[in-house]
Structure 1
């Protein structure tokens, strides 16, 4: 293992976060397809994915820029990939400090990202508190984040070896 600077850890983390988000997205799409979940356009903002709703709030509330429901998919991807990539930076700094085993750190990291969403989003009204969701749905959501965490950890480890 090579010693790295905080900036190097941050940069590797960002790249690993993007790679982890790609892996998570692929897994989410596969699981949704296997579960027979329709991939239809929402008819109203309340039916749009949470990342798109968050983008709408920021765009309109902070920047006073109106967004169209037709842009929901772009907004979803923008927020989803920005969020996942940003969390990768956190992973990079933590891993450069802790030097934890890849699998264990990835699983712990994915769980932490998942838990943070359920702590931060309910007060915004975009999520319900976790106890209001069926256990099966929470388990699927956790599985998405575990895939993300392990993929981030694996990508970071691969980048360390370059």
Structure 2
């Protein structure tokens, strides 16, 4: 177990290590999700590339990219930032609770997917989820579930091979 409380320095260090490991697993999980989107989901649905991550950063910071190329770079940076954030949350939950495998994935997904959906709606970046079509809901759910599964698998693989 990585650490279950902040009561000791070693537990806090273990949790910090789990969060950092989770962030890296989340960035790698984003690669898996992006491959899934490009190779499976987008060809099936006909959906074009989403600029929701860039729109979110622009809404939060007020920053406007100078060109379409800069906007695309911002989109990728934000896309991977969101994935790293999901991974950091996975690491924190696993580190504090000792959850691993599908239990950890379910806990993280159950907390983060609704927060993600409601957060982008609250920022005005996307319609509220009750206005989404069934396809939009299924696509977002599937994409984020792939992210959560890949992140969890990578996190578990790395932490299992590393002594605490």
Q: Which position in structure 2 is the counterpart of 1:153?
A: 152
Which ranges of structure 1 fall in alignment gaps of 5 or more residues? Answer: 40-47
Q: Which position in structure 2 is the counterpart of 1:16?
A: 25
Q: Which position in structure 1 is the counterpart of 2:125?
A: 126
Query: What RMSD, in angstroms, separates the aligned Cα atoms of the two structures?
Result: 2.2
- Worse-matched range after superposition: 81-90 or 101-110: 101-110
Q: How many residues align?
A: 151
Q: Which position in structure 2 is the counterpart of 1:54?
A: 56
Question: TM-score normalised to the size of structure 1?
Answer: 0.81
Could you tell me which of 36, 41, 48 is aligned with 2:46?
36
CA offsets 1:37-69 (integer angstroms, 9 cap, x no match): 355xxxxxxxx611122233345x2xx665323
Instruction: For 1:2 and 1:120, locate their aligned partners in 2 and report how far apart those are by CA, in whole Å.
Output: 30
Secondary structure of 2:127's aligned partner? coil
Question: TM-score normalised to the size of structure 2?
Answer: 0.80
Instruction: For 1:6 and 1:33, locate their aligned partners in 2 and report how far apart those are by CA, in whole Å.
Output: 40
Q: Which position in structure 2 is the counterpart of 1:43?
A: none
